Amino acid sequence: MAMMSTEGGSPSFRRSREVESLPDERGNGCILVADDDSDDVYLLRRALRKAGLTPRVLDVFDGTLAVSYLSGEPPFDDRKKYPFPDLLLLDLKMPKMNGFDVLAWLKGRPDMGSLPVIVLSSSSVEDDETMALRMGAREFLTKPADIDNLIPLLKSLHRRWLERRKMTPEIWHSPLAMEQRTIPK
């Protein structure tokens, strides 16, 4: 069963790795983080706080949980408690179902076409980047090793993907609208 933690939680506080959340009391969007490394998730949460960014952050530790969350399958079927994310930060190397598998699943789901997926991985292999972008990731970024480099990266992502969504009518984010704005290749 999914356990929620408080904002002050630490990796050792995490009793369940299914989902951990920070409250979004200011309406600043929702980020789903799919990453099996609790230290990386903790660092990301700290960096968001230090940057003064307040999106709701939920995390899952493998690709199968990411797919279950996005599909709204139990225990993630309560969308008030587990809202559909405005942004997915996806690691590539996870157990059960890796990031490429999640991207392949998303590609087969036109109803998920408006979800921006950013691969945030420790991999700096060019082939991984090429493959992830071909499979539908909007960006591929290498995880910074320290908080001082992670803060500007998160601020930039927030500006590009969360603030921009606030400035456009909700209808523009529907799969049909996204499809109509896409220029054929």
What is the per-residue pLDDT across 64-111, written as a single tens digit (0 to 9) for each? 999 999 999 999 999 999 999 999 999 999 999 999 999 999 999 999
Cβ proximity of 29 and 53 under 8 Å: no
* DSSP reduced 3-state for 55: coil
pLDDT for the residue 8: 38
Q: Is residue 158 part of a domain?
A: yes
Predicted pLDDT at 131: 97
Sign for the pseudo-dihedral over CA of 170, 118, 92, 129 = positive
Structure tokens at 55: 């999106």
Asked whether residue 3 is assigned to any structural domain, the reply reads no
147 within some domain: yes
Range of the domain at 34: 11-181
CATH of the domain at 86: 3.40.50.2300
Low-confidence ranges of the chain (pLDDT < 70): 1-27, 165-185
75 prior amide bond cis, ω within 30: yes
Residue 23 included in any domain:
yes
Number of domain units in the chain: 1
User: What distance in Å separates the CA atoms of residue 101 and residue 23, rounded to the nearest whole number?
Assistant: 29
Does a structural domain hold residue 55? yes
pLDDT at 22: 45
Please report whether residue 124 resides in a domain: yes
- For the entire predicted model, the pTM comes to 0.78
- What local confidence, expressed as pLDDT, does residue 13 receive? 27
What pLDDT, on the 0 to 100 scale, is given for residue 162? 92
- Residue pair 39/12 in contact (Cβ under 8 Å)? The answer is no
- Write down the pLDDT at residue 166: 58
Residue 143 domain-assigned (yes or no): yes
- Residues 121, 93: contact at Cβ < 8 Å? yes
In this structure, is residue 166 part of a structural domain?
yes
